[in-house]
Amino acid sequence: MTNRIYIELAIKDVFRLWSASQLQVIIIAGICLPILLLLGLKNGHVADLREDLVTSPVGRQIIFWSLKQGEFLTKEVLRDIQGSIPNVSLIIPESQKLVFIERSEDQGSSEGSSPLTLYSTLPGDPILEQFGAEIGSAAPGARPLILSEPTARALHKNIGDTATLTIKRRFGAEDQEHTLDFKVVGTVASGGESDGFVGFTHLDIMTCLEQYGSGEAVPELSIPAMKSLRAVDQYSQMLLVCFRGQATDLTAKDHAFLAERGLLAEVSTAAEITSLFGILKPEAAKELKFYMLRFSGEQDNPQSVIRDSPELLSRNTEAQDDLLLRWCDPLTVQVNGRDYQIVGLTLPNKRQTGGWIQNFVKPRAPWFTYEESTATPLSVRGPVAVLADLGNKELAFTPTLKASLQPLEQQIDDTEQTTTSLPDDEAVSLGEVSTAYVPVSLLAFITQASRNQVTLDSESKKFVPSSSQVAFTKARLYTATIDDVPLAADLLAKRKYAVLSEVSRIAEIHEQDTSLKMLVAVVALGVFLFGVITVFSVLVDSTDRKKGMIGILRVMGISGSGVFFFLLARAIIIGVMSAAVCCGIGVLLAAVLGKTIAGTEYLAWLPKVHVVLGFNEYLLVTLGAILCAVLGVLMPALKASRLDPFDAIVEGQFH
């Protein structure tokens, strides 16, 4: 006889003895229902604890900032943080700027503008999203602005209106201000400060405003650098020139003095140096001695900077009449297959300290005075071919630099000047190399520009510090869920940042969740064991009452294992029916406790009971109900499968 027949017999037996089956279903459902409600109450309590954090952006938010050891938050650092911490959805560096927003005449204000505090934001900012506002992208030329609702009402600004903002800056004694047009793209209910106007704009624009405040040029806003902002020319080496002789040469004490400053003085005998690239008379190499001062040891770095002035070094050396010149290595460029050198050469004139060098300078030599280097820093003396090719990519000259350079006439002695620059055939030449001369400060700036330390401002025609990478000290980080916050906060703390988050509340939620799970497990196990004993007692009695039927089935040819499977299938059906009743009552109770009572006026004083039931809870209770029924029937079914058919029929007559 197949298993299908046994299942059909089990189903028919359930409905044949429906009154007994109902009792068994009610008993098992009554056992499982408290377990289901406990699971729902546990989930509901944890959900209530999480609700405020989940719905509020503060729950997923971590505020961190640099202290003594934490790195400043540059773009690279932020990119590294986002890549190294799992499940980070957004990081917004915090920046704020005081600007002035223009008032219209019909607003009854005597002032033309009012102060507005701007805060940085990015698309997807949860704080703005909770108010239905979105900053959007900061496309070139686009300047989105979100205002707090009190600010928008006071200024009569609606979404889509244009707001004119004035930004101001000061550098030294120079003041500047510029106006920028922004487009209002949204409003938020609160801006963070109740006593002032508040707005939000894209982080890229706030970065531009930070650069603007430091006096730098801001190409994105078409704003040049401030006139008083100038880069400082820096040098990693100096050329020391003195007369040969014991009284005029560097002494051991001089070398020790220089060594204290990390400088090493090495004698230079190269023809380029002893002739200053062709401008000195031949006798200079015989009467003068040339030293190149560079950093020594661990400080031997081409980007190291000599902080001491030439005057300080000369004044503190025992060598008489020593002259120190700031020096940069010449640059070489090839034009039409021919090599040209660009040399930075600034010398004192006869009336200045060290002016004795003029006695060794050739007439018409193309050098620069200190005054010329200051007054015309972008000047050149030398071959026309070099001037025509200063945009050569080997020198990394910008078009701005090429357009700004001014060819100057050659000097006669240190006062007279001709009216034209030297042509190529009259250029000072060393072998096959022709030389063009620039102020040494210009060559220093060119060297610094190759390292991205300075740039030539197109408006002021002067070198200014390169746009510095804006570094923030504080930022807001958002994780994908609140459960990701503890790990992110821990990793930030390990990077030496100060951290502020809701990690303690999240830890409390997890702790309560764990405690409730343990409580539910203990109570459920006790109820379940008591239920199995109860079901066992009921099914033992039910099986004893079926002895007559079991004997008849055995006489008809059903084996002992068939009887066991028949009773087991009947128990499984009872378990499934019990689970269905239990789940149905659970859904009804969850709805009643969560909505009806809290919404009923005369029972409004009762607290709302939040019961959360999901698939896992229903599945667990269903398996529990089936397991309860199966465990309860195992012993009675095993006993019934071993009954003698004749004895079963006889004993069944007494039940």
CA distance 436 to 384: 9
Domain identity same for 41 and 87: no
* Tokens (6 digits) for 370: 């200190």
Q: 259 and 334: one domain? A: yes
What was the pLDDT predicted at 557?
A: 55
- Look at residues 501, 522, 541 and tell me which one is the last residue of a structural domain: 501
**Cβ–Cβ contacts within 10 Å for residue 308, how many?**
14
Phi and psi based region of residue 129 (left: phi greater than 0; alpha: psi -120 to 50; beta: remaining): alpha
Same domain, 249 and 397: yes
**Residue 591, in any domain of the structure:** yes
pLDDT number for residue 457: 76
Q: Is residue 540 part of a domain?
A: yes
Sequence-distant (6+) residues with CB within 8 A of 615 are none
175 class by beta-carbon count within 10 Å (0-12 exposed, 13-18 middle, 19+ buried) = exposed
- Whether residue 462 is contained in a domain is answered as no
Please, how many CA atoms are within 13 Å of residue 609, restricted to the half-sphere of its CB? 16
The sign one gets for the Cα dihedral 262, 264, 265, 269 is negative
* Count of domains for the chain: 3
Give the span between the Cα atoms of 157 and 163, in whole angstroms: 8
Q: Which residues contact 5 (CB under 8 A, 6 or more apart)?
A: none
Residue at 337 is within a domain: yes
* CA separation for the pair 417, 250 (Å, rounded): 36
How far apart (Å, rounded) are the C-alpha atoms in residues 420 and 407?
9
The ranges of the chain with pLDDT < 70 are 1-3, 5-6, 9-10, 17, 45-57, 67-70, 104-111, 190-195, 297-303, 335-336, 383-403, 405, 409-433, 502-517, 519-520, 524, 531, 538-561, 563, 594-610, 637, 639-655
- Three-class DSSP category at 433: strand
Residues 443 and 535 both lie in one domain = no
In a domain, 458, yes or no: no
Q: What is the pLDDT of residue 193?
A: 46
Does residue 377 contact residue 442 with C-beta atoms inside 8 Å?
yes
Distance CA(492)–CA(170), nearest Å, equals 36
Q: Is 305 found in the same domain as 213?
A: no
Give yes or no: residues 648 and 551 share one domain.
Answer: yes
Measured CA distances, 244 to 265, 319, 545 (Å)? 15, 10, 131
d(CA 191, CA 145): 13
Same domain, 596 and 628: yes
Report the alpha-carbon angle 324-327-332, nearest 5: 150
Round to whole Å and give the CA distance between 188 and 121: 13
Which residue, among 53, 90, 60, 92, has the nearest Cα to 486 in the 3D structure?
Answer: 60
> DSSP readout, 94-130?
--EEEEEEEPPGGG--SSSEEEEEEEEE-TT-HHHHT
206 and 308 co-located in one domain: no
Tokens 């090839």, residue located: 334
User: 123-145 pLDDT, tens per residue?
Assistant: 989 888 888 888 887 777 789 99
E strand or H helix that includes residue 273: helix 271-274
Q: Is residue 60 part of a domain?
A: no
Q: Give the type of residue at 153.
A: R
Whether residue 354 sits in one domain with residue 315? yes
Residue 108 lies in a domain: yes
Closest CA to 261 of 318, 292, 299: 299
DSSP track, 147-203: EEHHHHHHHT--TT-EEEEEEEEEETTEEEEEEEEEEEEEEES--S-TTSEEEEEEH
What pLDDT, on the 0 to 100 scale, is given for residue 54? 58
Pair 18, 131 in one domain: no
219, two tokens: 């190409």
Q: Are residues 191 and 249 in the same domain?
A: no
Residue range(s) defining the domain that contains residue 390? 237-452
Give CA–CA dist 106/117, Å, rounded. Answer: 23
Q: 173-218, pLDDT tens digit by residue?
A: 888 999 999 999 999 886 444 557 899 999 999 999 988 888 888 8
Q: What distances in angstroms separate CA 639 from CA 530, 560, 573, 596, 631, one per listed residue?
A: 22, 10, 20, 49, 14
What's the pLDDT score for residue 32?
Answer: 81
CB atoms within 10 A of CB 22: 14
- 270 and 210 within one domain: no
Q: Is residue 494 part of a domain?
A: yes
Contact 50, 509 (CB under 8 A): yes
